[in-house]
Amino acid sequence: MKVVKFGGSNLKKSEDISKLVKVIKSYNKPLIIVVSALYGMTDTIISTIENVHRDFNSIDQLQQTLLTAHKAILSCYLIESNEIQKAFFELEKRVEEMKRFLLGIHYIGEAPDFVRDTVLSYGERLSAFTLYEILNQLGIDCKEATPEDMGLLTDGEFGNASVDFDKCSSQVASFFSDDLVYIVPGFYGISETGKVNLFGRGGSDYSAAAIARCVKAQSLDLWKDVKGFLSADPKIVPNAWNIKRMSYLEAAELSYFGAEIIHPRAFEPLKPDNIPLNLFNIDGDLDDIKPLTVISSTGVKTSFIVKSCSYTDDIGILKLKGPGVGVKPGILADVTNAMKLEGINIKSVLTSQTIISFLLSSNDLYKAYQLLQNLDVHGVNEVEIQDKISLIAIVGEGLNDTHGIAAKLFNAISRKGINAKVVSMGISDVASYFIVDSDQRNEAIKSIHEEFFYEKHR
Ligand code: ASP
Ligand code: MG
| pLDDT (average), residues 57-69 | 97
Q: Quick one: three-class SS letters along 67-90?
A: HHHHHHHHHHHCCCHHHHHHHHHH
What's the confidence (pLDDT) of residue 327?
A: 78
Same domain, 346 and 265: no
Q: 199 CB under 6 A from ligand 1?
A: no
3-class DSSP assignment, residue 163 = strand
331 lies in some domain: yes
Give the list of residues 6+ apart from residue 333 with CB closer than 8 angstroms, or none. Answer: none
* One domain for residues 196 and 327: no
**How much is the pLDDT for 117?**
98
Is residue 277 situated within a structural domain?
Answer: no
Give 186 Cα–ligand 1 centroid separation in angstroms.
8
Q: How many CB atoms lie within 10 A of CB 118?
A: 23
Ligand 1 near 264 CB (within 6 A): no
CATH code of residue 219: 3.40.1160.10
**Average pLDDT along the chain:** 94
Can you tell me the distance from the alpha carbon of 352 to that of 325, in angstroms, rounded to the nearest whole number? 8
Q: Which ligand is nearest to the CA of 43?
A: 1
**For 80-91, how does the pLDDT look when each residue is reduced to its tens digit (9 = 90+)?**
899 999 999 999
Residue 70: inside a domain: yes
Is residue 403 assigned to a domain? Answer: yes
Q: Quick check: pTM over 0.85?
A: yes
Kindly report the protein residue whose alpha carbon is nearest to atom 2 of ligand 1. 202
Ligand 1 centroid – CA 37 distance (Å): 6
**How far apart (Å, rounded) are the C-alpha atoms in residues 35 and 17?**
12
pLDDT surpasses 60 at 155? yes
| Ligand in closest contact with the CA of 187 | 1
Split into its structural domains, the chain has a count of 2
Over residues 380-426, the pLDDT tens digits come to 899 999 999 999 999 999 998 889 999 999 999 999 999 998 888 87
Please state, in angstroms and as integers, the Cα–Cα distance from residue 184 to each residue in 31, 99, 375, 413, 440, following that order.
11, 22, 45, 46, 43
The Cβ of residue 232 has, within 10 Å, a number of other Cβ atoms equal to 24
* Residue 336: per-residue pLDDT: 93
Ligand 1 pocket, residue 36 CB under 6 Å: yes
Q: Let me know if residue 364 belongs to a domain.
A: yes
Query: pLDDT digits over 171-186, tens only?
Result: 999 999 999 999 999 9
- The boundaries of the domain holding residue 372 are 301-458
Distance between Cα 396 and ligand 1 center (Å): 28
| 217 plus 313 within the same structural domain | no
What span, in angstroms and rounded, lies between the C-alpha atoms of 188 and 160? 9
Mean pLDDT of 28-36: 97
pLDDT reported for residue 303: 87
Is residue 256 pLDDT above 90, yes or no?
no
Residues 317 and 188 in one domain: no
pLDDT of residue 351: 84
- Residue 296 in any domain: the answer is no
Quickly list DSSP for 258-317.
Answer: T-TTS-GGGSGGGTTTT--EEEEETTS-TTS---SEEEES-----TTS--EEEEES--EE
Q: Tell me which residue has its CA closest to atom 6 in ligand 1.
A: 202
Mutate to test the pocket of ligand 1, among 201, 206, 255, 260 (most ligand atoms within 8 A of CB): 201
Q: CA 353 to CA 406: how far, in whole Å?
A: 24
80 CA distance to ligand 2 centroid (A)? Answer: 32
Helix axes 113-137, 81-108, angle to 10 degrees: 180
pLDDT digits (tens, 9 = 90+) for 269-282: 999 999 999 999 99
Asked if residue 212 and residue 307 are part of one domain, the reply reads no
Domain end point (choices 269, 291, 320): 269
Tell me, in angstroms, the distance from the centre of ligand 2 to residue 303's CA.
Answer: 33
pLDDT, residue 400, reads: 86
Q: Is the pLDDT of residue 458 over 80?
A: no
Q: Report CA dihedral (75, 80, 81, 87) to the nearest 10 degrees.
A: -60
What distance in Å separates the CA atoms of residue 328 and residue 310, rounded to the nearest whole number? 36
3-state helix, strand, coil in the chain (%, to 5): 40, 20, 40
- Could you tell me the CA-to-CA distances from 277 to 199, 206, 222 in Å, in that order? 19, 12, 7
Q: For the chain, give the longest Cα–Cα distance.
A: 76
For the CA of 187, the closest atom of ligand 1 is 5
Is the CB of residue 130 less than 8 Å from the CB of residue 124?
no
Ligand 1 in contact with 185 (CB < 6 A)? no
Residue 60 confidence class, pLDDT cut points 50, 70, 90: very high
Are both 341 and 429 inside the same structural domain? yes
Q: Is the shortest distance between the CB of 204 and ligand 1 below 6 Å? A: yes
What average pLDDT does the segment 345-372 reach?
Answer: 92
The band of 331, judged by pLDDT with boundaries at 50, 70 and 90, is: confident
321 membership: H or E segment, kind and range: strand 316-321
Chain segment 239-253, per-residue pLDDT in tens: 999 999 999 999 999
Tell me if 28 is assigned to some domain: yes
pLDDT of residue 314 exceeding 60, the answer is yes
pLDDT band at 455 (very low <50, low <70, confident <90, very high): low
Residue 30 CB burial class (10 angstroms; 0-12, 13-18, ≥19): middle
Q: CA 115, CA 119: separation in Å to the nearest integer? A: 6
Domain match, 48 and 119 both: yes
Cα 5 → chain centroid? 13
- Mutate which of 33, 42, 224, 255 to test ligand 1's pocket (most atoms within 8 Å of Cβ)? 42
Examine the pLDDT at 457 and tell me if it is beyond 70: no
Helix (H) or strand (E) holding 23: helix 16-25
> 202: CA distance to ligand 2 center in Å?
4
pLDDT in tens, 36-52: 999 999 999 999 999 99
Quick one: pLDDT at residue 214?
98
Give the per-residue pLDDT at 125: 98
* Mean pLDDT (whole number) for 219-245: 94
Q: What is the pLDDT of residue 26?
A: 96
Could you tell me the distance, in angstroms and rounded to a whole number, from the CA of residue 44 to the centre of ligand 2? 13
Q: Are residues 409 and 321 in the same domain?
A: yes
Is residue 58 located within the same domain as residue 189? yes
User: Closest ligand 1 atom to the C-alpha of 204?
Assistant: 8
Residue 238 lies in a domain: no
- What gap in Å lies between CA 109 and CA 103, rounded to an integer? 10
Which pLDDT value is given to residue 265?
Answer: 93
How large is the average pLDDT for residues 345-360?
90
CATH of the domain at 381: 3.30.2130.10
Q: In this structure, are 201 and 338 located in the same domain? A: no
Extract long-range pairs of 346-352: CB within 8 Å, 24+ residues apart.
347/315, 348/424, 350/422, 350/424, 351/325, 351/326, 352/326
The predicted pLDDT at position 251 comes to 94
Looking at the structure, do residues 351 and 410 belong to the same domain, yes or no?
yes
Integer CA distances (angstroms), 118 to 106, 115, 143, 320, in order = 15, 5, 22, 38
Q: Is the CB of 123 under 6 A from ligand 1?
A: yes
Say if residue 218 is in the same domain as residue 367.
Answer: no
Contact 189/207 with Cβ under 8 angstroms? Answer: yes
